[in-house]
Amino acid sequence: MSGRAGGPTPLIVALVALVAAGLVGWLLWDASGGAADGAGHPVAATSAAAKAASPSGPSAPSAAASRPASGRPSPARSGDGGTASPGPSAGAGAGVTDDEAPRADGPLKGKVVLVDPGHNIRNSEHTAEIDRSVDIGTGRKECDTTGTSTDAGYAEAAFSLDVAHRLRTILRNQGAKVVFTHDGERPYGPCVTERAAIGNKAHADAAVSIHADGSAVGNRGFHVILPALVKGGAADTAPIVGPSKELGARIAGNFVRVTGSAPSNYIGGGTGLDTRGDLGGLNLSTVPKVFIECGNMRDPQDAGLLTDPAWREKAAQGIADGITDFLRG
């Protein structure tokens, strides 16, 4: 991704090699908290550089990829388009609330989690609507983007929604109320203003936007995107930078532990975390929020994981465990 703004907040880290269940990953601990962070929960470090639910798997319809098959993702595929008015089928900040009651005695009872499945499988049919330029506080970007896909045509939008559904089930069983930004019911979008507004209106205790990247072959691994400290227009991330970094670190550490995937080898300097100020979904959020790029759809090895339903279940569990760690302190 390009067009960065703002820089990361430094975080002292130490890398600890993790060997569990026959898988080797990097477990990153917050050196400023260490084992005293509560219960020795795994966390990851901030990058030193400035720097989604269709159960049908690979046969799901493809969205047109807006990123090149090699090199870094194009600006049009940012994991976020920008901000704009909502689509014709929803009011601003409406969202889709889980229609099943959460478990009454779960450890997350009383907590609200915003889950944002990246893109929309039908965005490519509404290019005029999603391409319109909108204000994200630090500049202007598209309302939304189409996302990427594997070479075989499995769309990022289908992946993100599948993982979102799995994540919702896990969180509901933990007692949380889950709100979606969309559930595949819309003709396109929502635009990122609305994605942010839904979490804000719900007073979410945590929010996560689910994506997969589209970079060069050989670029592998996941990374979590944290909000930079930005202020401009409707954007003011000062209240959420700290808690969002903690949320992202918890998710990254648990994602390694559960999936066995390593942090990205091309973004984040091996930490699994990246800080950005050019994403409207983060800039406009007033609640702790992160993005996760679960892997690189354009790399055959990562694509093999992303198209595997069993691995997607692990991905959802890793994200859920990170959210739970964050919310329980």
Domain ranges for the chain = 13-328
| Whether residue 246 lies in the annotated active site | no
Confidence label for 94 from pLDDT (cuts 50, 70 and 90): low
CATH 3.40.50.2300 assigned to 13-328: no
pLDDT 10s digits, 280-327: 999 999 999 999 999 999 999 999 999 999 999 999 999 999 999 999
CA distances from 145 to 91, 125, 176, 293 (A): 20, 11, 29, 15
pLDDT (0 to 100) of residue 104 = 81
Higher pLDDT pick, 254 / 28:
254
Residues 154-166 have a mean pLDDT of: 98
Q: With b meaning 16 or more CB within 10 Å and e meaning fewer, what string describes 189-213?
A: bbbbbbbbbbbbbbebbbbbbbbbb
Maximum mean pLDDT: which of 15-24, 62-71, 220-229: 220-229
pLDDT (0 to 100) of residue 41 = 36
Cβ atoms < 10 Å from Cβ of 246: 22
Say whether pLDDT at 5 is over 80.
Answer: no
pLDDT (0 to 100) of residue 100 = 74
Confidence label for 199 from pLDDT (cuts 50, 70 and 90): very high
Residues 181-205 have a mean pLDDT of: 96
Say whether pLDDT at 175 is over 70.
Answer: yes
| pTM for the structure as a whole | 0.75
Q: How far is CA 181 from the centre of its chain?
A: 13
Say whether pLDDT at 36 is over 70.
Answer: no
Higher pLDDT pick, 81 / 134:
134
Higher pLDDT pick, 133 / 298:
298
Say whether pLDDT at 169 is over 60.
Answer: yes
pLDDT 10s digits, 49-93: 333 333 334 433 333 333 333 333 333 333 443 333 333 333 455
Q: How far is CA 164 from the centre of its chain?
A: 10
Higher pLDDT pick, 133 / 94:
133
d(CA 324, CA 271): 21
Are the C-beta atoms of 181 and 190 separated by less than 8 Å? yes
Q: What percent of the chain has pLDDT over 70?
A: 70
Are the C-beta atoms of 144 and 134 separated by less than 8 Å? no
Residue whose C-alpha is closest to residue 286's, from 250, 243, 224? 243
Q: Which two tokens stand for residue 139?
A: 């500049």
Count of H-run helices and E-run strands, the chain:
7, 13
pLDDT (0 to 100) of residue 141 = 92
pLDDT (0 to 100) of residue 25 = 38
pLDDT 10s digits, 239-265: 999 999 999 999 999 999 999 999 999
Higher pLDDT pick, 52 / 149:
149
pLDDT (0 to 100) of residue 101 = 77
pLDDT (0 to 100) of residue 105 = 86
* Longest Cα separation, the chain: 51
| Candidates 129, 194, 293, 313; catalytic one | 293
Confidence label for 24 from pLDDT (cuts 50, 70 and 90): very low
Give the 3-state DSSP-derived string for 26-42, with helices as H, strands as E and coil as C. EEEEECCCHHHHCCCCC
